[in-house]
Amino acid sequence: MNQGIRKRKFPVRRAAIIAGAAIAIIIVAAAAFGRGSAKEDQDAAEQTTAEAALMTIENSLSADGEVISSLEEDLSPHTSYYLEEVKVEAGDALEEGDTILTYTNGSKMTAPYNCVVKSWDLPDEEEQLTTDHSVTVAGTDVLRMELEVGEDQVASVKAGEEAAIEIEAAGSSFDGVVTSVSEVGDYSSSGSTFTAQVTFDNDGSVKLGMTGTAAIVLEKAEKALCVPAGAVTSSGNESKVTLLKDDGTEEEVTVTTGISNDAYIQITDGLSEGDTVILPVSDSDSENSSGGFMNGPGQNGMPGGGMQDGGNMPDGGGGQPPGQQD
């Protein structure tokens, strides 16, 4: 019996499955490669840089508070004189030389300086004045504010340091000075606080009891080489920045830092003016700027940030940008 070579046949259905699987593998691989390339392009696009530049940098302590008088005293009337009439009301503002009260002999008590009458302890009219009587006034030429200073900052605040005063109600700014810092703090479980007195000369526009902001300059450096504070990372006593070199490569550089505030930090060694440093991109910045899926659903149940409704760009929230809040 003549036996020929038998040809093995695969069912058509099985062949189709194998071909489909192969295509699927190719598609997945291509998508993964595309995502990787897109991620690299996105990271490059999101990279933020800044140049080291010379500027004046200062670190200050600011607080809001009430404007009060730097001089309050009890004025003593002439004893053995008799009171004729009180010429003022509590709260009256007086200029130097204005009459406060008159005596029955024709004499009078006058304001020794520009002041506000706060209160008095006087007898009835036509009665004799004694050492127990007085008129309390508060000067308005030199004013002060009190700032609460934490125990971690009190060592940096010293008498004689300059301060900036802003009185919004009066629309005025003043140069002030720290005149005293309390030696004993007020204890609390979160840390003790100390009181710093800041005084300034009134130009006549500020009234006692107004509120203002006083800022004490703790540290200040002019023509300091600075970079954004976010560019510097610290571990222990070592600080570093990522330097973007002229050829496009990156280099981690150890630097020495000086004064810093919320926005900038001084570099005293390790960088030169014009050097470009790289600022890290936070996770939230990366997600919000991504053209891919966002955290949480978007409109119509679609992932936020992607293409929706046949390719129309998302509106970023469906409304106009919020206006300035009151």
User: What CATH code is carried by the domain that includes residue 91?
Assistant: 2.40.50.100
Coil, helix or strand for 201?
strand
Confirm whether 100 is domain-assigned. Answer: yes
Has residue 318 been placed in a domain? no
- 113 in a domain, yes or no? yes
Out of 139, 162, 182, a domain closes at 139
For residue range 245-299, list pLDDT tens digits in order: 999 999 999 999 999 988 999 999 999 999 999 998 765 454 444 443 333 333 3
Q: Would you say residue 94 lies in a domain?
A: yes
Domain that holds residue 211: 61-67+142-220
Residues 183-200: pLDDT tens digits?
Answer: 999 999 889 999 999 999
User: Are 106 and 167 in the same domain?
Assistant: no
CATH of the domain at 246: 2.40.420.20
End-of-domain residue from the set 116, 139, 162: 139
* Number of alpha carbons in the 13 Å side-chain half-sphere of residue 290: 21
Is pLDDT larger for residue 309 or for residue 156? 156
Give the pLDDT confidence score for residue 315 in this predicted structure.
42
pLDDT of 213 reads 95
Q: 181, 203, 220: which is the final residue of a domain?
A: 220
Positive or negative CA dihedral for 121, 127, 132, 134?
positive
Query: What pLDDT is recorded for position 156?
Result: 86
Do 238 and 211 share a structural domain? Answer: no
The pTM (predicted TM-score) of the whole model is: 0.60
Please check whether residue 11 lies inside any domain of the structure.
Answer: no
- State the pLDDT at residue 187: 92
Tell me the C-alpha distance between 191 and 43, whole Å: 43
152 dihedral zone (left: phi>0; alpha: psi -120 to 50; beta): alpha
Are both 215 and 225 inside the same structural domain? no
Residue 274 lies in a domain: yes
Give the CATH number of the domain where residue 208 resides: 2.40.30.170
Choose between 306 and 215: higher pLDDT.
Answer: 215
pLDDT value at position 247? 93
Query: 292-303 pLDDT, tens per residue?
Result: 333 333 333 333
Q: What is the pLDDT of residues 119-169, one digit of tens each?
A: 999 999 999 999 999 999 999 999 999 988 889 889 989 999 999 999 999
Q: Into how many domains does the chain fold? A: 3
| pLDDT, greater one: 205 or 299 | 205
| 326 lies in some domain | no
Tens of pLDDT, residue by residue over 3-35, are: 444 444 444 444 444 444 444 444 444 444 444
Same domain? 244 vs 262: yes
- Has residue 134 been placed in a domain? yes
* pLDDT tens track for 68-100: 999 999 999 999 999 999 999 999 999 999 999
